[in-house]
Amino acid sequence: MLIPQLSAAESALCILLITMAQVVGQEDGEKTTALKDLLSRIDLDELMKKDEPPFTFPKTLEEFEYAFNEHGQLRHIKTGEPFIFNAREDLHRWNQKRYEALGEIITQYVYELLETKCNLTKAILPLDATVDEPFTFVYLSPNALSNASKLLVLIQGSGVVRAGQWARRLIINQDLDSGTQIPFITRAMEEGYSVMVLNPNENFLEVEKPYKSSTLPSQTEPLDEPAEKKERRDDKEGKKRREFYEKYRNPQKETETERIPIRENTSSEEHVLYVWDHFVSKAAAKNVFIVAHSYGGLSFVELHCCNWVSSPEPLDTPLDSMLPDCPRVSAGTERHELTSWMSFDSIFRFFSEVLEMKEDEEAEETSTNTVTTRSSSLKSKHQDL
């Protein structure tokens, strides 16, 4: 007879099943007591962890055995395959933690590209931050405050994405061009823009609290405990076991953390206002353009703009507008995270049209000495769209 080799956890579970089978023939009261006694001697926490790999992951792309190829696609160094989320079957929590660890490496990788490929530098926020307090930063081109012509401000959406990113999922599963702001930065610089890259999602410093063991409580029963009190205690311990199983089934942090807010940058909206007051408003640029993805656009919807939205319609097809001063057109994709990348050429074409329109206005004002409002001209232009 072939006897399969079992892991420690499987062996423990088999023992549990066999023992349960042995008590089936007993009376209900005896069976319940025997089962409770058995469960009290099993450390479920340790039992379940025996089959779950530790949450220790590589700290670099090389250690992960991944690299970006010449097309900006993330590929396995040995197999050439794209990133696989389900590296371990039936271990969703471990796979999720692995994905998050890779995401942190991607964030640092993009920062390096902003500094080396795009020649941007960090500006620490708040400006008067002390050495002991948490801080965030934005990225600026060398002429961000001095360029008297054009300034481009880039703002990503909400979530885990940081400065220079549109969507982590696109970076990992598609490529750097679609998932980062780098094509926007390089194109803008080629066309004479200065650039500011905001970082609205870094609003606090997360500090790990001391680890507390998640092992189940001791099952030692007090002597001479009243039956009613013992029953309540058993119910409470059963609830703790159920909560433990829920913790195992769902991906979540192993350790508790506390968040220390970053002064004057405690939210996306506060960050954008801080950068506007301390950088954008002080820039020499005569013309300021903003590309804001998803939630990043909420702070600017009242300005005159064009909103590329996810839609099955062809790129730039006019759509019904939610706001009268912000016309909506199709981004040519139904995937929300791709809207900024798919609209790339249209966005810069829109900027050029606005600049030409403004130059025409100024020339007309000079020649006729009449004043034409920017608002009315833009509304007319959008109506033509």
Amino acid letter, residue 91: L
**Residue 197 bridge partners (DSSP):** 139, 154
Number of Cβ within a 10 Å radius of residue 41: 7
Tokens of 300: 């600017």
Nearest to 180 by CA among 74, 261, 275, 276: 74
The two structure tokens encoding residue 6: 């079992």
> In whole angstroms, what is the distance from residue 49 CA to residue 242 CA?
16
- In the chain, the N- to C-terminal Cα span, in Å, equals 78
Q: Does the active-site annotation cover 330?
A: no
CA distance 141 to 151: 10
Options 141, 294, 330, 340, the catalytic residue: 294
Residue pair 332/312 in contact by the 8 Å Cβ criterion: no
Q: Is residue 180 helix, strand or coil? A: strand
CA distance 235 to 277: 57
* Strands laid side by side in the 121-125 sheet: 121-125, 136-140, 193-197, 150-155, 287-292
- How far apart are the C-alpha atoms of 349 and 65, rounded to whole Å? 40
What number of other Cβ atoms are within 10 A of residue 238's Cβ? 12
Active site residues: 294
